[in-house]
């Protein structure tokens, strides 16, 4: 019951106050634009391992989000799904990461018709490596941050504390501008 109440609180705050700062879990440094993106392998909603290295030669939108099936996270995922063909036309893949389990991701994808990869990081290794580990009350979550990674594996742009309602469009615009210049 206590976890359910916290989940509802996270959901409400993530939608109503997308700029809310969630307490960082530790002092892990967030990678910055110009740096090589830290590599990783995590299981997708199908339970298959997905490696960042396997997308070498493609643009990657790597977004971290707090919790499956909460309002703000659902809005953000739906918008990435809505724009998926536009991202694919630009040669980009979308990877969503949270601390939820493979089973939770599978349920989220099935319920909401998500076809891009959601990666499970319940041990917080990748979330921490990307400086995106946070806490909301007693819950460990991923802070809402996004990294645009170019085909050579370099981080081109970083967004923190994003607004899930408009973020997909922001990332798509930045991707298109990055490809031009």
Residue 109 is a catalytic residue: no
Q: What is the pLDDT of residue 175?
A: 97
Catalytic residue among 25, 52, 60, 73: 73
Quick: pLDDT tens for 50-67.
999 999 999 999 999 999
**Paired tokens of 117:** 């990869």
Residue 142 has pLDDT above 70, yes or no: yes
The residue count of the chain comes to: 181
Shortest CA distance to 96 belongs to which of 45, 138, 154?
A: 45
Kindly list the structural domains of the chain, giving each domain's residue range(s) and its CATH number in brackets, ordered by start.
2-180 (3.40.30.10)
pTM recorded for the entire structure: 0.85
Quick: pLDDT tens for 74-121.
999 999 999 999 999 999 999 999 999 999 999 999 999 999 999 999
């Amino acid at each position: 019951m206590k976890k359910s109440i916290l989940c509802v609180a996270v959901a409400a705050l993530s939608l109503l106050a997308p700029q809310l700062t969630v307490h960082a879990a530790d002092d892990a440094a967030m990678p910055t634009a110009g740096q090589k993106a830290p590599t990783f392998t995590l299981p997708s909603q199908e339970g298959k391992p997905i490696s960042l290295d396997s997308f070498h030669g493609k643009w990657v939108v790597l977004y971290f989000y707090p919790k499956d099936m909460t309002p703000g996270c659902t809005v953000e995922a739906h918008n990435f799904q809505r724009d998926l063909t536009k991202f694919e036309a630009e040669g980009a893949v979308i990877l969503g990461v949270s601390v939820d389990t493979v089973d939770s991701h599978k349920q989220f994808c099935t319920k909401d018709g998500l076809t891009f990869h959601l990666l499970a990081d319940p041990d917080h290794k990748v979330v921490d490596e990307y400086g995106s580990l946070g806490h909301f009350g007693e819950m460990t979550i991923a802070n809402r941050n996004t990294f645009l990674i170019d085909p050579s594996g370099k981080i081109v742009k970083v967004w923190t504390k994003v607004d899930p309602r408009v973020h997909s469009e922001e990332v798509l615009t930045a991707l298109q501008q990055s490809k031009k210049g």
